[in-house]
Structure 1
């Protein structure tokens, strides 16, 4: 489990830096709706959005 934790820590110092500006474009499918949106929380929370 130590190697797994080290791998996760390595990802934090990668190209995806916390607090960096990101642009997200969401398009709604006519029949499927918005689908699933993965948030930026750690651990990642997947939300189901319906409209």
Structure 2
């Protein structure tokens, strides 16, 4: 049994149903949001610990 994240499942489901634009948009937005959250968390931790 394979284990998929919601991110990969939704992107794959969108691509398989022909919604390739939405699949790409989902992937890009998810990656940018994740990186942005990591950056903000690092900045907040640095500000609080400095």
Do the two structures share a fold, i.e. TM-score over 0.5?
A: no
Structure of greater relative contact order (alpha carbons < 8 Å, 6+ residues apart): 2
**TM-score normalised according to structure 1 size:** 0.29
**TM-score normalised according to structure 2 size:** 0.29
Higher helix share: 2
Higher strand share: 1
